[in-house]
Chain A
């Protein structure tokens, strides 16, 4: 697996995978949206409002998954100094922030008809908002430090410290009294959702995952290209400086 940590090998693999992943994303979204909006029945309690679950729950799963991946990549970067792990963490952050924003906005829209309010400062909602700020903080920190290695290290430390929030989000509905419902799919026993509702939910979750994989690979490729361009520009500046110094030295030697 480590052989793919070589940027050149990674680029080769990524270029082969992206067209397949993009096609899978399109197909999964088409099937998922058809099932979510047309074929699946309304919920016996929530009625048609349950259709918001198909965009909200997968976004929430992805928000947690992307942060976990970011923290894992950050750990690999800090321990083994694999530059590609840092590239992955940096590329994943805006995608995670996007999924978290979708989770917050769609959850708020779903909350109004179900709970009577768009927002409540309870444990689940607040901890997801903190996750969103962690993503934004990570992106801002990376952008504020010019040196790539220092920015990578600082970002990795922030990502790892912030990871403590992930289990808090997951178990907040069990540890505290919240308006948010407890887990319905990821339970030790069977999911508490009927297959007619579980199927579009899983299809949409697969579509979100395929979209994330496609965009992550493209963003990693972008970051690798950008680092190459920056490295070439720095080499050019260093070469120009060396030429200037050589010219000055030669000029000084030629002077009587």
Chain B
């Protein structure tokens, strides 16, 4: 079981390239997703406050 996991993690000796490639993709795409959701939430709250203050149209 442990040996199988270590064999898989070793990626045939290519682990120094395979795992950083997946890490880079996860960090960049995950970061973009987190930043998008955070900005969306803040903008929606500001727009909702504005709508409560009075009707607005874009």
Contact = CB atoms under 8 A, between A and B. Distances in A.
Partners in one complex: yes
Interface of A: 7-8, 37-38, 42, 47-49, 51-52, 55-56, 59, 83, 94-95, 98, 101-102, 105-106, 109-110, 112-113, 208, 211, 215, 218-219, 221-222, 224-229, 231-232
A55 B22 CA distance: 7
Given A56-B21, A106-B21, 8 more contacts: A37-B22, A51-B18, A106-B24, A106-B25, A112-B17, A218-B40, A222-B44, A226-B46
Contact of A48 (B18, B22, B32): B18
B43 A226 contact: yes
Contact of B28 (A7, A98, A112, A221): A98
B8 to A, nearest CB: 7
Interface residues of B, number: 29
A55 B43 CA distance: 31
Contacts of B31: 98
A206 B57 CA distance: 36
Of listed A48, A110, A229, residue having the most chain B CB within 10 A: A48
Nearest to B45: A225
B56 A231 contact: yes
Main secondary structure of the interface of B (DSSP, over half): helix
Given A49-B12, A110-B21, A222-B43, A102 B29 contact: yes
Interface string B1-39: 000000010011110011011101100110111001101
Nearest to A224: B58
Contacts, number: 99
A59 B25 contact: yes
Contacts of B56: 228, 231-232
Contacts of A225: 43-44, 46-47
A105 B21 contact: yes
A51 B39 CA distance: 33
B11 A102 contact: no
Nearest to B11: A48
A229 B25 contact: no
A8 B58 contact: yes
Interface string B45-58: 01100100000111
Contacts of B20: 109
A101 to B, nearest CB: 6
Given A48-B14, A49-B12, A102-B24, A215 B58 contact: no
Contacts of A218: 36-37, 40
A76 B54 CA distance: 32
